[in-house]
Amino acid sequence: MPRLILGAFAAASLGLLISGSAHAAKPFPSPSAPAPVFYRSVKVDGLDIFYREAGAANAPTLLLLHGFPSSSRMFEPLLARLSGQFHLLAPDYPGFGHSDAPDPKAFAYTFDHIAEVMQHFTEAVGSSRYVLYMQDYGGPVGFRLAVAHPERVQGVIIQNAVAHDDGLGPRWNRMREFWADRAANEAGFRQSLTSLAGAQRRHLGASPNATNYDPDLWSDEFAFLNKSGESDIQIDLFFDYRTNVASYSAWQAWLRQAKPPTLVVWGRYDQSFEAAEAQAYKREIPDADVHLIDAGHFALDEKPDEVAALIGAFMSKLSKSRRPRSTPMKNAYTPR
């Protein structure tokens, strides 16, 4: 059988096994034909939620959950490389990117609330089965989605997102002081949050390859964080991050019980989280596929080809066996 036909047959088989849509399964584009990216908004809980979407709707879905202080824009490298094989959905959280950013006096900026909006987002766009890609804040959001609706999760991809104390090194002592006494520590956090040096440090980390990084990455981030009202939103989320640490045991319990197929891709030069966190996931998922790569906190900044290749291999492996749905667990948050 010609190679092209074999490739099309394998792609169609993958779509049948882990389709992210209710549409009838049809062959979807080959890896050599990236799909166009669409820039959309949908009304969710009274908010306009912006999202990027690429790939055939009947292909396996990757739900891409961004970190701080990013947006769906961080996933442009994956949209360009993987949309010929998979269906990619990348939303902006409320208060981020191009989504609505209501005043914190009118909208509770907590991880419970953002996870609730993201759950409603997936329902609004008709995505009921997906593989979670979680980076930084995407971890707290994604794990809440998984615990609330484990039957929707076909696998997890973790990229510098934390679910164990192993990932929080000595530099988190200052954050714990902020959690203990917000009033006494908030001014210092605001100054660090909105500085250009802080934005640059988040991207470069300890990387010896600074010339590989586009400075637009941190200059755009700096401009975003200095928009009117944005620091109020981010400070509220910084303070609420303590609820994530308190939830680690529940997330670990879900991982142990559900045993989702798991890929961990960790940028070793991250200065926000400790590299030991990557291996910590093997305590719950002994067969997790763990890769420590030469990149920083935002691994897609420096190693988009390597990360995309790892994701492609992981997603293809999922097509080889259909896993039973996980047993539902108690919700991590109370729907509003």
Q: Which residues are catalytic?
A: 297
Is 159:301 a contact under the CB 8 Å cutoff?
A: no
Q: What is the largest CA-CA distance in the chain?
A: 70
Determine which helix (DSSP H) or strand (DSSP E) holds 64, and give its type and residue range. Answer: strand 61-65
The two counts, helices (H) then strands (E), for the chain are 13, 8
The answer to whether the bond into 69 is cis (omega within 30° of 0) is yes
What's the burial of 76, exposed, middle or buried (CB within 10 Å: 0-12/13-18/19+)?
A: middle
Q: Can you state the angle between helices 230-240 and 216-225, rounded to 10 degrees?
A: 100
Cβ proximity of 125 and 102 under 8 Å: no
Question: Rounded to whole angstroms, what are the CA distances from 151 to 90, 97, 154, 186, 329?
Answer: 20, 29, 8, 40, 10
Taking CA atoms, 263 is separated from 6, 223, 290, 311, 314, in Å, by 26, 33, 6, 8, 7
The residues, ordered by sequence, that sit 6+ positions from 51 with a Cβ below 8 Å of its Cβ are 40, 41, 42, 72, 89, 90, 91, 92, 121, 125
The answer to whether 246 and 114 are in contact (CB under 8 A) is no
Instruction: Give residue for tokens 């009118």.
Output: 106
Positive or negative, the CA dihedral 216, 217, 218, 222 is positive
Distance of alpha carbon 196 from the chain centroid: 24
Structure letter (DSSP) for residue 17: H
